[in-house]
Amino acid sequence: LDDGSELALQRLAPLVDDAAALARGAAALVALLPGATPTELGWDEAASRLRPRLVGDAFLLGLGPQAAGLALVALAPGLSVAHQLAYEGRARFVRREELSRWEAAVGREAVRARGLANLARRPPVWVHADGLLHARTGDGLDGTRLLLPGLEAQLRAELGVGPLLLAVPHRDLLLAAPAVDRERLAVQAADAFSRAPHGVSPELYRRHEGRIEAA
């Protein structure tokens, strides 16, 4: 397309003998394009695709007025939780009215729990490097794994007891370290954020009584 986007049409090839199915498939692909009006999904179809996605202030500023249409919840200074619907090789953000409709159908907590459950299907890959613990799973969701309810137990298994600090410099990286390594964590988080094409936040955070707080 003239904006540099590419849309793979191979998935439509098996549908060429069914005009109605071809039209539906084409509409679904077009709905994934930036600026398109997404196909309206009911909860039954959306549930298996839904997942949270952490975004930072820079991302929201880049969206400009379009950010007001997204389903967003402020989490902590510099962090917000958006929602995505995952498709093969691509994902799109959920609109505010879509999320409201699903919450009206099944309840806010059920929608939230399903998104987290979908995120938790793939456990993070933990790597110890440069004195820090890195989650580098390679699926674009490691930063968002900051939200997982079971994260603290995993961190304790890797780092032991004591206060822990975390950072989500970009979507593909979650960093953790004991509080005594605050300076090292802060330097690496700021550096990773400055170099990332999908930066989230250079700040440090901690989990406290189920909440994410600035540290």
Mean pLDDT of 44-54: 96
Q: Which residue has the tokens 């110890």?
A: 128
Going by pLDDT thresholds of 50, 70 and 90, the confidence category of residue 126 is: very high
pLDDT at 32: 61
pLDDT at 38: 56
Spatial contact of 169 and 200, defined as CB atoms under 8 Å apart: yes
Rounded Cα distance between 148 and 166, Å, is 13
pLDDT at 64: 86
> Tokens at residue 160, please?
């032991």
pLDDT at 34: 57
Going by pLDDT thresholds of 50, 70 and 90, the confidence category of residue 141 is: very high
Residue 35 has pLDDT above 70, yes or no: no
Rounded Cα distance between 200 and 141, Å, is 11
Instruction: Please write the tens of the pLDDT for every residue from 62-117.
Output: 888 888 899 999 999 999 999 999 988 788 899 999 999 999 999 999 999 999 99
Going by pLDDT thresholds of 50, 70 and 90, the confidence category of residue 5 is: low
Instruction: Please write the tens of the pLDDT for every residue from 163-195.
Output: 999 999 999 999 999 999 999 999 999 999 999
How many C-beta atoms lie closer than 10 Å to residue 14's C-beta? Answer: 11
One-letter identity of residue 20: A
Rounded Cα distance between 51 and 31, Å, is 18
Higher per-residue pLDDT: 210 or 123 = 123
pLDDT at 1: 61
